[in-house]
């Protein structure tokens, strides 16, 4: 009979018993509701062993790739070690390779990639400062192209972590990071599908990772990346993204400025509005949305109403913390 390992304890499954029934029968308190594979409130991560195909029906492909499954629908065929998703990660110590200002407010932080550190471009990790405060930042690097981890961090005045990065961190320092998490990532398949990527501020970071990853995996459908700021000075990586546009027939970069008259090559208006003006119908598209929480939540609804399937909309809202 398969053994389920959860939070350091072993639990024996009865024949034909689901992981959920195995755990609850033995007094383990876990989240669940419908027990029919619909509500997804019982989702866990398999850190060892393989989830059954039936237990991953209806789950987004990015979560499947990370081992997420529904314990109510999983009758295990082998031993498994499972974890609640937000407890599945580990912490890693790593070294600062470089810090470089991308504009007046954004710094590029590159870290040595620890051994056995797995991630998907566009996911986020937790960065811990010298007093133990943690903030989440998205990854712009791509494992197949970069031997480092890249974060793009906006300096918030008085920020406990962003201020520490800008004012104290130096190349050679040791920092602690968490395992990467999040759903805003590209997975291969449907290589001719149109992709829409919309971000504000440092929401550009995960979108750059997604776009670079898609291209290096052979995606040949059109990839449209809209990055918005109120002013030209708020944009960054413009020369790099223009060069990427010129070098790849599938990739199209749309810098957007919402105040004043933008220079030649940039579009006027909010990135979200401009994108939907350019592409009013999104049926069959895959959509990635990153940046301010209000923009992301609003655009999730608008892209769905424009025809994008909810399973093809990947969102990474940046929650506005008083002190970041």
Q: How confident is the model at residue 183 (pLDDT cuts 50, 70, 90)?
A: confident
- Average the pLDDT over 7-16 and give the result: 94
**Is 183 a domain residue?**
no
Are 126 and 73 found together in one domain? no
Residue 205 lies in a domain: yes
Q: Which domain holds residue 31?
A: 3-87
Q: Is residue 190 pLDDT above 80, yes or no?
A: yes
| Structural domain includes residue 188 | no
Which pLDDT belongs to residue 323?
47
Give residue for tokens 């876990």. Answer: 30
Query: Is residue 189 domain-resident?
Result: no
CATH number of the domain encompassing residue 297: 3.40.50.80
Same-domain status, 99 and 142 = yes
Under 8 Å CB-to-CB from 164, ≥6 apart: which residues?
Answer: 129, 130
* Cα–Cα distance for residue pair 212/273, rounded to 1 Å: 24
- The pLDDT confidence band at residue 319, using thresholds 50, 70 and 90, is low
Q: What is the pLDDT of residue 60?
A: 76
> Which region among 27-31, 196-200, 251-255, 311-315 has the lowest average model confidence (pLDDT)?
27-31
Q: Does the structure show a pLDDT above 80 at 82? A: yes
Q: How many domains does the chain have?
A: 3
Q: Is residue 277 part of a domain?
A: yes
- Distance (Å, rounded) from C-alpha 199 to C-alpha 216? 21
Instruction: Give the per-residue pLDDT at 168.
Output: 95
N-term to C-term CA, the chain: 48
107 and 152 part of one domain:
yes
Strand order, beta sheet including 106-112: 134-138, 124-128, 174-178, 91-101, 106-112, 148-154
Domain boundary among 69, 87, 105: 87
In terms of domains, do 223 and 109 share one? no
For 13-69, write each residue's pLDDT tens digit: 999 999 999 999 999 988 776 787 866 779 999 999 999 999 998 887 878 888 999
Q: What is the mean pLDDT of residues 241-258?
A: 97
Q: How confident is the model at residue 86 (pLDDT cuts 50, 70, 90)?
A: low
The overall average pLDDT reported for the chain is 91
Q: Which of 87, 112, 144 is the last residue of a domain?
A: 87
Confidence of residue 122 (pLDDT cuts 50, 70, 90): very high
Structure tokens at 64: 């499947």
Looking at the fold, whether 101 and 72 belong to one and the same domain comes out as no
Name which residue leads in pLDDT, 222 or 123: 222
Find the range with the poorest average confidence among 56-70, 219-233, 249-263. Answer: 56-70
Band (320; pLDDT cuts 50, 70, 90): low
Confidence of residue 322 (pLDDT cuts 50, 70, 90): very low
132-165 pLDDT, tens digit each: 888 889 999 999 899 999 999 999 888 899 999 9
Where among 87, 105, 123 does a domain terminate? 87
Is the predicted pLDDT of residue 188 greater than 80, yes or no?
yes
> Is residue 215 within 8 Å of 147, Cβ to Cβ?
no
């Amino acid at each position: 009979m398969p053994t389920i390992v959860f939070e350091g304890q072993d639990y024996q499954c009865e024949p034909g018993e689901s992981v959920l029934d195995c755990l609850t029968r033995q007094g383990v308190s876990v989240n669940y509701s419908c027990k029919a594979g619909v509500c997804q409130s019982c989702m866990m991560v398999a850190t060892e062993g393989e989830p059954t195909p039936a237990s991953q029906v209806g789950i987004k492909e990015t979560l499947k790739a990370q081992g997420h499954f529904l314990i109510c629908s999983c009758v295990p065929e082998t031993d498994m070690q499972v974890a609640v998703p937000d407890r599945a990660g580990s912490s890693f110590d790593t070294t600062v390779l470089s810090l470089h200002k991308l504009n007046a407010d954004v710094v590029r932080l590159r870290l040595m990639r620890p051994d056995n550190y797995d991630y998907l471009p566009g996911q986020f990790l937790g960065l811990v400062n010298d007093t133990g405060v943690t903030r989440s930042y998205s990854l712009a690097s791509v494992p197949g192209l970069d031997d480092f981890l890249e974060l793009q961090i906006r300096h918030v005045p008085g920020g406990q972590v962003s201020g520490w990065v800008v004012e104290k961190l130096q190349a050679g320092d040791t920092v602690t990071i968490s395992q990467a998490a999040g759903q805003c990532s590209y997975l291969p398949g449907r290589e001719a599908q149109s992709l829409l990527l919309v971000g504000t501020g440092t929401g550009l970071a995960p979108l750059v990772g997604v776009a670079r990853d898609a291209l290096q995996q052979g995606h040949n459908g059109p990839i449209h990346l809209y990055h918005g700021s109120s002013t030209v000075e708020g944009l960054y990586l413009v020369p790099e993204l223009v060069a990427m546009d010129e070098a790849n027939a599938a990739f199209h970069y749309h810098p957007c400025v919402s105040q004043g008259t933008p220079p030649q090559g940039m579009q006027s208006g909010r990135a979200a509005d401009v994108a939907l003006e350019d592409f009013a119908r999104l049926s069959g598209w895959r959509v990635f949305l990153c940046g301010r929480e209000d923009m992301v939540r609003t655009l999730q609804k608008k892209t769905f109403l424009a025809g994008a399937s909810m399973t093809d909309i990947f969102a990474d809202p940046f929650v506005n913390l008083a002190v970041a």
